[in-house]
Copies of this chain bind each other. A is one copy, B any other.
Amino acid sequence: MDATELAAHYRAYIACLNRRDLDALGEFVADDVIHNERPLGLSGYGDMLAGNFRDIPDLAFAIELLVCEPPHVAARLRFDCRPAGAFLGLAVDGRRVVFTENVIYAFAGRRIARVWSVIDKAAIEAQLSRE
């Protein structure tokens, strides 16, 4: 895939997440995917997402920035949601938090093989401490 195709494919992956279509995850994620150095595999990756959807009922992924140089995609994702209980070890307890994730993916063909993700935990802490 060239950069335009890969960017469109990545947007389709995010749309798949936003419709909670974990049955289609295998179209976008490799069987042996590694997430932040953890060899989750496709099933573990799906379990991670299912846990996110359970813990954050209104979770939605919004792409703020997309940088595409095959086989890599980098994105800045924005979240505006209400985690039900603890999130990243913080007692959010249903309060609204707005935060970002900067994430880089390495694709192998059409599937995500590696993910390097950093969530802006400090931004969430700052919002909670202001309340």
Residues in A lying within 8 Å of B, measured CB to CB:
3, 64-65, 67-69, 72-74, 76, 88-89, 100-104, 116-122, 125
Interface pair A118/B104, CB less than 8 Å apart: no
How far, in Å, is A81 (CB) from chain B's closest CB?
Answer: 17
Sample (5) of A-B pairs whose CB atoms are under 8 Å apart: A68-B69, A69-B69, A76-B104, A100-B116, A100-B118
Please list the 8 inter-chain residue pairs (A to B) with the smallest Cβ-Cβ separation, ordered nearest first.
Answer: A74-B74, A102-B102, A102-B118, A67-B72, A67-B74, A118-B118, A118-B120, A67-B69
Report the separation of the CA atoms of residues A84 and B64 in the bound assembly, to the nearest whole angstrom.
Answer: 35
Q: Indicate if the CB atoms of B74 and A104 lie closer than 8 Å.
A: yes
One complex includes copies of this chain to the number of: 2
* Complex CA distance for A89 and B104, rounded to whole angstroms: 26
Min CB distance, A6 to chain B, in Å? 10
Task: Determine if A119 and B122 form an interchain contact, defined as CB atoms under 8 angstroms apart.
Answer: yes
The answer to whether B121 touches A67 (Cβ under 8 A) is no
Report chain B residues within 8 Å CB of A103: 102
Taking CB as reference atom, which chain B residue is nearest A102? B102
Known: A65-B104, A69-B67. A88 touches B118 (CB 8 A): no
CA of A70 to CA of B51 in the docked complex: distance in angstroms? 36
Q: Give chain B residues whose Cβ lies under 8 Å from the Cβ of A72.
A: 65, 67, 74
